[in-house]
Amino acid sequence: MWNSSTRDISFKRRGMHAWLACALAAAIATAGFSACAVPPVVNVPQAQANSLAFALADRDQRLDSLQTPAVMEYSGANGHFKAREQVVVRRPASLRVEAMSPLGVALVVTAEGGQVAVFDPSKNTLARGAATAATLDRFARIPMAPQQAVRLLLGLAPDSAMLGFAPSGSNDVGDMKVLTYGRPDGTTDELGFSDRHLVLVRNKLPGGETGYEVRYSDYRDIGGIEFPYQVEASFPAAGTTIKLRYERPIVDGQIDDSLFVLSPGPGTRQLNLGEPGAAAAARG
């Protein structure tokens, strides 16, 4: 039978139990709440992808120019051949390529300020026109606008701005981690990494076709930065593939602005690439 005294004892015990529960909870919290807390879930693949993208963005900030002798190998509609070249590029869109022959310089192509210039020493002709993917394809064998071509030759991502965003996806292909970036126009850029080096840049068109694919290899240390000595670029629409082997690359060296400007000499015949037959005359 319950009476007032037993009720009082029961209430006191309940109060004591409640106080002990509160004290125990406070003690646990004081001793270290983290011991009872659930640790945050880490998305390891996403963290790895973000780390690779961050390293590439840092590289994008550091690399500005390249000067090197190179061996270029071309395969396409115009046949298959190799040529020695002197390559100079500087961001954002300055380019100079000297094609060499056993007798010296066979052709000089420059791109600067939205204009391309082509000098043929054997005919003493200097042709100028708009610096487009078509003109660079014809004279430098790279079917890209100058800014894209410069980034390709430097081993950078297709666009600096894309590196400010997290990749839209990532997956493993063999020993390569591939990051995917979607663009508003429906195209997709895929960046492949192996041993934290950028080894693949692939552009996919909205229909899924490959716009171009570039592979980088033979990375070596140049003044504290890892740089690829081998570049292979394929352009399915143009049906061409070019391979470049850099021989003595210098990155971020001093480059005079005049290197990207071609001026006519005595008796030089000047051509406008926009005129019919001018491109054929410039190339020979």
**Residues 91 and 34 occupy one common structural domain:** no
Average pLDDT of the residues in 50-68: 94
- pTM for this one? 0.81
- Per-position DSSP letters for 154-191, written without gaps between them: HT--S-TGGGGS--SEEEEETTEEEEEEE-TTS-EEEE
Query: pLDDT confidence of 262, banded at 50, 70, 90?
Result: very high
Average pLDDT of the residues in 10-39: 44
**Residues 25 and 64 occupy one common structural domain:** no
Cis peptide before 92 (omega within 30 of 0): yes
Task: Check: CB of residue 214 under 8 Å from CB of residue 231.
Answer: yes
* Domain hosting residue 191, numbered range: 45-283
Bigger pLDDT: 78 vs 152: 152
**What pLDDT sits at residue 47?**
82
With a cut of 80, say whether residue 16 has pLDDT above it. no
**Residues 15 and 140 occupy one common structural domain:** no
**What pLDDT sits at residue 283?**
58
Is residue 3 one of the residues assigned to a domain? no
Q: What is the CATH number of the domain that holds 61?
A: 2.50.20.10
Rounded Cα distance, 159 and 203, in Å: 12
Rounded Cα distance, 136 and 233, in Å: 14
**What pLDDT sits at residue 24?**
40
Query: pLDDT confidence of 1, banded at 50, 70, 90?
Result: very low
Rounded Cα distance, 262 and 274, in Å: 18
Q: Which of 43-52, 62-71, 134-143, 179-188 has the lowest mean pLDDT?
A: 43-52
**Residues 28 and 128 occupy one common structural domain:** no
Average pLDDT of the residues in 103-119: 95
**Residues 31 and 103 occupy one common structural domain:** no
With a cut of 80, say whether residue 179 has pLDDT above it. yes
DSSP state, 42? P
Is residue 64 one of the residues assigned to a domain? yes
Average pLDDT of the residues in 82-97: 97
**Residues 157 and 179 occupy one common structural domain:** yes
User: Coil, strand, or helix at residue 277?
Assistant: coil
Q: Count of CB atoms within 10 A of residue 62's CB?
A: 10
Count Cβ atoms within 10 A of the Cβ of residue 129 and give its class: 0-12 exposed, 13-18 middle, 19 or more buried: buried
Is residue 1 one of the residues assigned to a domain? no
Helix (H) or strand (E) holding 105: strand 104-112
Residues in the chain: 284
Rounded Cα distance, 50 and 60, in Å: 15
Bigger pLDDT: 248 vs 36: 248
For CA atoms 256, 261, 267, 268, give the dihedral sign.
Answer: positive
**Residues 90 and 203 occupy one common structural domain:** yes
When the pLDDT of each residue in the chain is averaged and rounded to a whole number, the result is 86
Is residue 260 one of the residues assigned to a domain? yes
Average pLDDT of the residues in 200-226: 96
**Residues 16 and 116 occupy one common structural domain:** no
Task: Check: CB of residue 68 under 8 Å from CB of residue 245.
Answer: no
pLDDT winner (highest mean) among 30-34, 133-137, 216-220? 216-220
With a cut of 80, say whether residue 275 has pLDDT above it. no
Is residue 4 one of the residues assigned to a domain? no
Bigger pLDDT: 73 vs 38: 73
Q: Provide the token pair at 246.
A: 């850099």
**What pLDDT sits at residue 6?**
39
